[in-house]
Structure 1
Amino acid sequence: MLDFIIYFIGLIVTAPILATWVVYLISVKMYRHKWKAIHNTVNWTTLLYIIAVGTLVKEIFGISFFGIILVILISIYTIIVVAHWKIYTEVIFTKAFKMFWRICFLLFFILYICLVLIGIYLRIYY
């Protein structure tokens, strides 16, 4: 039973697009509203993409970039909080974190797709 759980978690982390699709289908059934389902899917799968990008970078290039990813995440959040402060003069951290989380989803989703394509290219030609 423990092996099944470990393989299931490994599948979800290494194939977050499948997890995104499953979470979206469940969210559509729960909310019956497309945009609420999309927002729920983004909220639940962002961390999977962050972990998957770190894992793919380690597999493709042989170097762990989790520290650099952490610095990038902190920098993005800092930029969002400062921009929120400049625009509204009052920082509402829940709104800033929502924006940060959605930007992270887009960034790491694009990075995941690029790294998968790079990995396929390198496996075929090298």
Structure 2
Amino acid sequence: MIDLMVWLLAFCLTMPIVISWLVYIIAKKVSNNRLKALHVSVNYTTLLYILSVGAIFHQLYGTTYYGYIFIFLIVLLSFFIIMQYKVKGEVLFLTAWRRFWRLSFLLFILLYFLLVIYGITAGILAV
């Protein structure tokens, strides 16, 4: 049973695109709305991309970067909160969180693709 859980976690961290697609398909079947399904998919798989990027960094460079990723995310959230305070004069944390979470998804999916391409080319050139 533990082997199955480890295998499932490893699959999720290795192939977050597949998990995002599955979440999107399920949400689309439930809601019959493509935009809502996309939002659900983004909201539920962002953490998976963050963990995947950390795992790829660990695989490529042999050290963990989760601390740096966490600090980056805290600074990014702080930026959204400060910008919302400057623009609106009040902070609606839920709005700041949504913007932060969606930008995190975009940044980490882009970083995921770039690191996968870098890892593949580095592996090919090392042979």
TM-score, scaled relative to structure 1: 0.97
Structure 2 counterparts to residues 1-126 of structure 1, below 5 A: 1-126=1-126
1:6 and 1:30 map into 2 onto residues whose CA distance is: 29
1:58 Cα shift? 0.8
Percent identity between matched residues is 37
For residues 40-72 of structure 1, the C-alpha deviation after alignment (integer angstroms, 9 at most, x for no partner) is: 000000000000000001101112111110110
Gaps of 5+ in 1: none
Provide Cα deviations, 1:13-55, integer angstroms capped at 9, x if missing partner. Answer: 1210110011010010011000000000000000000000000
Gaps of 5+ in 2: none
Q: TM-score, with normalisation over the residues of structure 2?
A: 0.96
Q: 1:50 aligns to what SS in structure 2?
A: helix
After TM superposition, the runs of 4+ consecutive aligned structure 1 residues lying more than 2 A away are none
CA RMSD in angstroms, aligned pairs only:
0.8
SS of match in other structure, 2:43: helix
SS at match of 1:63: coil
Task: Count residues in correspondence.
Answer: 126
